[in-house]
Amino acid sequence: FIQAQYNCPWNQMPCPSALVYRVNFRPRYVTKYKTVTQLEWRCCPGFRGGDCQEGPRDTVKTPRPTPARPRNSMKKATDNEPSQVSEPKKTLSPTRAAEPSQMVDPKQGPQELQEKKIQVLEEKVLRLTRTVLDLQSSIAGVNENLKHAIQDDASKMLASWLSNLHPQQVPDSAVGGDTETVQLPDVLNNKESGMKDIKSELAEVKDALKTKSDKLEELDGKVKGYEGQLRQLQEAAQGPTVTMTTNELYQAYVDSKIDALREELMEGMDRKLADLKNSCEYKLIGLQQQCDDYGSRYLGGVIELIGEKETNLRKEINDLRARVQDPSAQSDCCGGKKNGDFGQQIKMLDQKIERVAEATRMLNARLDNEFDRLAVPEPDVDFDARWNELDARINVTEKNAEEHCFYIEETLRGAINGEVHDLKQLLDHKIQSLEERLGSVLSEVANSTEAELTPSASALPAVSGAG
């Protein structure tokens, strides 16, 4: 493209009017793609062998080659040149290689066993593919080595025959020399025998490759069969995928919500029951402790009261005995009274003592009964009424929860159906309004086009008349 270029700098008022045009070339970029099918390591031209140590003139047979060092070179999809020269790697037999992986744990499930079998089959397939690739590379290397060896042997034998036939010195440059044809029967016979050996070796290699390919096809069939079984197992485990309608989706959504609400209510009821149980146990323990404290306090008070009464009685008895035994006290006490009064007082005192002893025995019996009642735990019969009441409350709560769930389900269904109906009506209304607007727009466009066409049609005769 051509671009104009001004010679005046920026903000320079006296600027020359001459323009300079420069021709610029746009670069063209072409995007190409290259398909790579196989990675290959090659030797430099004239070298061969596993480590590329054999030169172009080296005819000594090399030992068994080792895998070549990696060199960065790629192979095209249409490249027919031989690949890397390497012997097939010594791979373990499939049975020996699969022996460690076939030790199955009895605790594993069928899916894990199937996965392990598939993994073992994949390893076998990988090993077989590696052996096939190694065989292909070795065949290509053998072909290349044989080709180079035959060429070298033929060139050397030709050179020796030519030197024997023409002993004179041959110039360095053979550009304009005459050519001669020489019959070499021995060389041809040797070449034919070598070709026969090569063909026999190639036939053996082809047979081996055919057997390997048959085994690979058999393994491929087994792998496909296992894949089909795995797919069936996965489909059976996951369940069939069924296309659901909108009503079924709404029903599934409502069912999931109701199930979640039911689970939440059940969890709440379980928590409340656990709290009630804990509170009942806590109150029972507190009541038992209160009873023990009350019994211990009551027992201590009764024992103290009995002790005080006993001491007072003993004191009175001792005083009476002292008065009876003391003559002076007896004279003072009983001087102005009669013997009948003294006997009556003694009887009254005996009655009082008997009454106190009877009261003491009654108190001891009552204390023993209280101790027995407190020592024996309360029977379960006392809690039957409470448990029945709790069961009745739980049943009522569960019934109310079910009724509430049914009510919520009905309300949700009604709300969803109403929303769907409203949405359909809204969509119908919008579509109808859009159709009306589209019709009005089309009518306006038609009217405007007709209005534009009518003035132009009326103006055409006037122009022709003026001409």
Asked if residue 162 lies in contact with residue 182, where contact means CB atoms within 8 angstroms, the answer is yes
What is the per-residue pLDDT for 309?
78
CA distance 274 to 279: 9
pTM of the predicted structure, to 2 decimals = 0.21
What is the per-residue pLDDT for 415?
76
| CB proximity list for 194: less than 8 A, separation 6 or greater | 146, 150
What is the per-residue pLDDT for 18?
63
What is the per-residue pLDDT for 98?
38
Which parts of the chain register pLDDT below 70? 1-21, 36, 38-40, 56-110, 161-162, 164-195, 237-244, 326-343, 374-384, 455-467
Q: Is the dihedral of CA 266, 271, 276, 281 positive or negative?
A: positive
| CB proximity list for 4: less than 8 A, separation 6 or greater | 19, 20, 21
DSSP state of 9: -
What is the per-residue pLDDT for 62?
42
DSSP state of 82: -
| CB proximity list for 359: less than 8 A, separation 6 or greater | none
CA distance 393 to 273: 11
What is the per-residue pLDDT for 5?
64
Asked if residue 254 lies in contact with residue 409, where contact means CB atoms within 8 angstroms, the answer is yes
What is the per-residue pLDDT for 240?
52
Dmax over Cα atoms in the chain, in whole Å?
195
Asked if residue 50 lies in contact with residue 66, where contact means CB atoms within 8 angstroms, the answer is yes
CA distance 84 to 40: 6
CA distance 330 to 338: 12
Helix (H, G, I), strand (E, B) or coil at 56: coil
CA distance 56 to 155: 12
383: tokens are 């809690």
CA distance 198 to 404: 91
CA distance 325 to 230: 118
120: tokens are 């073992």
